[in-house]
Amino acid sequence: MKAGKKRRIILLVLVLFVSFVLQTTVIPFLRVGGIMPDLLLILTIFTALFYGSQGGGAVGFTVGLAQDLLVGRHLGIQALSGLLTGYTVGYLEGKVYKKNPLVPLFLVFLGSLFSGAVFLLGRSIIGIFSFTIPLLWYDIIMGALYNTLLGVFLFRPFARLVARPEPPGVDPVHMYVDYRG
């Protein structure tokens, strides 16, 4: 493994660890109307944008499993939700134009909706929860909007940390375009 790739992976692991600590300590105080942003989901989606479906799925599964283990109930629902979200968004890596800052934010919104739906569906399947329209509106859509708002501030720093090295003087955020056709 090349030194640059090792460095990016180590930085990614460090960012995810710090994010996990923040998600469990500081982020609960940012709760608005019962809705709390999901920093780990946002970073899973960003990771999927830069590392593809395998990287996004692996990170989504790992952080979801960590969340499941921390909460201690219904082991696997968050892991499944993170895996499917990371894999699905990662499938778009190389197919979306990341130079436009609205694209990652739109994917954070859609990924949050998808993750919330998978999570609620999983809880419904095991008999813990039943779907209601007001809850879907409030929890999933408002949570997705909150995640998107937080994503506005996180995408650029995240991209600079984990992007592949580019020629000097080139902004890595603006270089992620698929030229394969």
pLDDT digits (tens, 9 = 90+) for 124-157: 888 776 667 677 778 899 999 999 999 999 998 9
* pTM score of the predicted model: 0.85
Please tell me the predicted confidence (pLDDT) of residue 172. Answer: 53
| Alpha carbon distance 53, 47 (integer Å) | 9
Tens digits of residue pLDDT in 10-53: 888 999 999 999 999 999 999 998 899 999 999 999 999 989 99
CA distances 134 to 110, 141, 150, Å, are 19, 10, 23
Share the mean pLDDT of the chain.
85
Q: What residue ranges define each of the domains in the chain, with the CATH number in brackets?
A: 3-164 (1.10.1760)
Six token digits for residue 102: 């609205």
Strand-pair partners of 36: none
Tokens of 128: 């813990």
At 72-129, the pLDDT tens digits run 677 889 999 999 999 999 998 888 877 788 999 999 999 999 999 898 888 888 877 6
Burial class (CB in 10 A: 0-12, 13-18, 19+), 167: exposed
Helix, strand, coil shares of the chain, percent, nearest 5, are 75, 0, 25
pLDDT at site 180? 47
